């Protein structure tokens, strides 16, 4: 490579690495805020975060990055698509475009509006007061539209918003995947409901915190989550933060009267964390050194939480250990009863408490409603009623109020309307597709799981997905692994095999 090109590439890398470092530092401050910061630190912490965010935004939108990228265009085209440098330049171009198209003043105005909206929502939800947030939400829809309109080449107004968390996905792709999935799910949910209620009272006895945490971390460690490069703390809402490839932290939440909360949130976050820990170490310090999209991230948390952690073979191995940990609570409960309890399907009002099947219906309701809001076919004032109507139609339940209806999720009240929800269900769809691919390569995986061994599965996922960080988009990963586009069939197969009631 000509010396001049090398100089440009080095300078680009230096700048991108600085931006990535700032973003990691923000992550660490957020981790501290949600795990251990005393409440007296809140005001200053908000200032620290804002300062770092501002500096990062300035650096990310510096015209010099645009000039460097322009100068490297020919060079990138001459490199193999899969090479680190070509991938880095591709990703940097995408992020630079996204950061610079929305005028800084509009973006800053929106950030201030979103933080005001969040504060109103925090009061409005417990008070069941949709009227209080309504004018804020109307402005949010307006801001979301204005920011999306900065990308006039998009086919659908939601596309630029979706692109932020799931690059390459569009409203049209998601809509058609979801429409087909919904057709499959609604009858399956109905069959589960008709089969009668499952007794899950065994999960709601008293389970002391220490033993719960000990059991969860033991499983996470056996999955392959590396505690020498990670740690687990507690927070109100469980999350994962990657401070670097060598420092990926998870949190969990313990409920002494619900065994599934801490356990499955630990397995879920361990899945996110193993993805981040599995990135090739030499990508560290570049924007490539992190998971590629929200959907691929969710595919890994769901794969380890649900496909592995709620499977029968998994519990054939672990249930005797769980019984030994909680002999009084579970000694008289057999494996089959426990397995049914952790996989109970029941339409409910709250997305975050939903079972793995109905969960998707919650997501689709929100996705459809946010598209209608952005398209202007649904007015914010009619949103609560539209919400109830869809829940009635899709899940057969109706919230008694807006608190457990339209006000339940924070997403529309601390960010844009649009782009927030699709990743959860896309992640579910991908989880089954990636798992099927791993088993196709290594048919021994289910049997190994029955013996508490996960090395083959973990290695396959590291090799096929984790190591690449953000080099490939979700669509490219799917294409590389299956030779085609994202399809729902593996996920539908997985759900049907697991959840179709006997005789159903
Ligand atoms: Zn997650």
Output the CA torsion 352→357→358→362 (10° steps).
60
- All residues at 6 or more sequence positions from 293 whose CB lies less than 8 Å from its CB, including other chains: 165, 166, 167, 168, 169, 423, 473, 474
**Rounded alpha-carbon distances, angstroms, from residue 135 to 131, 314, 399, 408:** 8, 49, 22, 17
**Which residues touch 365 (CB under 8 Å, ≥6 apart)?**
387, 390, 391, 394
Three-state SS annotation for 436-474: HHHHHHCCCHHHHHHCCCCHHHHHHHHHHCHHHCCCCCH
Position 197 scores a pLDDT of 86
* Torsion on CA atoms 376, 408, 139, 384, rounded to nearest 10: 40
pLDDT at 457: 98
Give the contacts of 263 (CB within 8 A, at least 6 positions apart): 212, 215, 216, 219, 309
Closest-CA residue to 465 (of 247, 241, 300, 318): 300
Q: Ligand 1: distance of its center to the CA of 291 in Å?
A: 12
H/E stretch holding 499 = helix 489-499
Taken as a whole, the chain contains a residue count of 504
Q: Can you name the residues that pair with 231 across neighbouring β-strands? A: 249
Question: Count of alpha carbons within 13 Å of 489, Cβ hemisphere only?
Answer: 7
Q: Which residues are catalytic?
A: 269
Instruction: Report the alpha-carbon distance of residue 250 to residue 239 in Å, rounded.
Output: 6
Neighbours of 63 (CB within 10 A): 9
The pair phi, psi for residue 486, each rounded to 5°, is: -70, 125
Q: Residue 151 to residues 66, 67, 147, 156, 473: CA-CA distances in angstroms?
A: 17, 20, 8, 10, 20
- From ligand 1's centre to the CA of 298, what distance in Å? 5
Comparing C-alpha atoms, which of 29, 477, 495, 58 is closest to residue 275?
Answer: 477
CA 377/CA 145 separation, integer angstroms: 13
Helix then strand count (H, E) for the chain reads 23, 3
Rg of the Cα atoms in the chain: 23
The interaxial angle of helices 359-375 and 422-441, nearest 10 deg, is: 130
Q: With both helix axes pointing from N to C terminus, report the angle between 474-482 and 422-441 in degrees, rounded to the nearest 10.
A: 20
Q: 449-467 burial, b if ≥16 CB within 10 A, otherwise e?
A: beeeebebbbebbbebbbe
Q: Ligand 1 centroid to 225 CA: how many Å? A: 15
Residue 53 CA to residue 41 CA, distance in Å, equals: 18
pLDDT for residue 504: 56
Angstrom distance (rounded) from CA 318 to CA 311? 11
457: nearest Cα among 292, 307, 343 = 307
Measured distance CA(362)–CA(320) in Å, rounded: 34
Residues with CB under 5 A from ligand 1 (ion): 301
CATH 1.10.1370.30 fits 171-499, yes or no: yes
3-state SS, residue 355: coil
Say what the pLDDT of residue 503 is.
67
Ligand 1 centroid to residue 275 C-alpha, Å: 12
Name 240's bridge partners: 250
Q: Which two tokens stand for residue 439?
A: 């088993």
Cα 425 to Cα 367: distance, rounded to the nearest angstrom: 10
Question: What six digits make up the tokens of 262?
Answer: 């801490």
Q: What pLDDT score does 94 carry?
A: 95
Mean pLDDT by 10 residues, the chain (504 residues): 89 97 96 94 91 93 98 94 97 95 91 92 96 98 97 97 96 97 94 91 98 98 98 96 98 97 97 98 96 98 98 98 98 97 95 95 97 98 97 94 96 94 98 98 97 98 98 98 97 96 72
Distance of alpha carbon 495 from alpha carbon 360, whole angstroms: 12
Confirm if 404 and 349 have CB atoms less than 8 A apart.
yes
CA of 77 to the centre of ligand 1 (A): 35
Tokens describing residue 319: 């249930």
Q: How many angstroms separate the alpha carbon of residue 1 from the centre of ligand 1?
A: 42
What are the structural domain ranges in the chain?
3-143, 171-499
Q: What is the whole-number distance in angstroms between the Cα of residue 332 and the centre of ligand 1? A: 33
Lateral strand order in the sheet of 230-234: 230-234, 247-252, 240-244
Measured between alpha carbons, how far is 262 from 260 in angstroms, rounded to an integer?
6
pTM as predicted: 0.96
CB 272 within 8 A of CB 301: yes
Residue from 36, 62, 82, 56 nearest 472 by CA: 82
What pLDDT does 501 receive? 85
């Amino acid at each position: 490579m000509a010396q001049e090109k090398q100089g440009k590439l080095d300078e680009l890398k230096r700048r991108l690495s600085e931006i990535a470092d700032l973003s990691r530092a923000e992550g660490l401050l957020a981790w501290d805020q949600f795990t251990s910061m005393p409440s007296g630190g809140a005001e200053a912490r908000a200032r620290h975060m804002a300062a770092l965010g501002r500096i990062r935004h300035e650096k990310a939108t510096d015209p010099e990055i645009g000039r460097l990228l322009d100068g490297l265009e020919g060079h990138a085209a001459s490199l193999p698509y899969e090479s680190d440098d070509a991938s880095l330049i591709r990703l940097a171009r995408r992020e630079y475009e996204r950061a610079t198209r929305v005028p800084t003043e509009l973006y800053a105005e929106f950030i201030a509006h979103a933080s005001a909206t969040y504060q109103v929502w925090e009061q409005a939800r417990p008070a069941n007061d949709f009227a209080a947030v309504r004018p804020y939400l109307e402005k949010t829809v307006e801001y979301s539209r204005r920011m999306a309109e900065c990308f006039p080449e998009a086919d659908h107004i939601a596309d630029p918003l979706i692109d932020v968390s799931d690059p390459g996905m569009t409203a049209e792709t998601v809509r058609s995947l979801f429409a087909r999935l919904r057709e499959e799910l609604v009858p399956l949910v109905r069959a589960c409901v008709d089969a009668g209620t499952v007794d899950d009272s065994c999960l709601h006895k008293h389970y002391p915190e220490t033993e719960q945490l000990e059991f969860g971390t033991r499983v996470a460690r056996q999955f392959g989550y590396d505690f020498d490069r990670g740690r687990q703390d507690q927070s109100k809402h469980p999350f994962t933060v990657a401070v670097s490839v060598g420092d990926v932290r998870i949190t969990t939440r313990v409920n002494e009267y619900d065994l599934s909360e801490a356990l499955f949130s630990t397995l879920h976050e361990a899945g996110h964390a193993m993805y981040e820990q599995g990135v090739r170490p030499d990508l560290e310090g570049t924007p490539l050194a992190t998971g590629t999209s929200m959907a691929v991230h969710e595919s890994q948390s769901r794969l380890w939480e649900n496909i592995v952690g709620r499977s029968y073979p998994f519990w054939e191995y672990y249930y005797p250990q769980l019984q030994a940990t909680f002999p009084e609570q579970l000694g008289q409960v057999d494996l089959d009863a426990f397995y049914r309890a952790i996989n109970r399907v029941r339409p409910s009002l709250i997305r975050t408490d939903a079972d793995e099947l109905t969960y998707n219906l919650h997501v689709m309701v929100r996705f459809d409603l946010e598209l209608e809001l952005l398209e202007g076919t649904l007015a914010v004032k009619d949103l609560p009623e539209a919400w109830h109507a869809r829940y009635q139609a899709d899940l057969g339940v109706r919230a008694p109020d807006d608190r457990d209806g339209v006000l339940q999720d924070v997403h529309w009240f601390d960010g844009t309307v649009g782009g927030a929800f699709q990743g959860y269900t896309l992640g579910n769809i991908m989880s089954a597709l990636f798992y099927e691919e791993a088993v196709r390569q290594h048919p021994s995986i289910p049997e190994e799981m029955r013996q508490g061994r996960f090395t083959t599965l973990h290695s396959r996922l590291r090799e096929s997905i984790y190591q690449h960080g953000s080099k490939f988009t979700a669509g490219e990963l799917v294409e590389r692994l299956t030779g085609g586009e994202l399809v729902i069939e593996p996920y539908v197969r997985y759900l049907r095999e697991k959840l179709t009631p006997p005789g159903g």
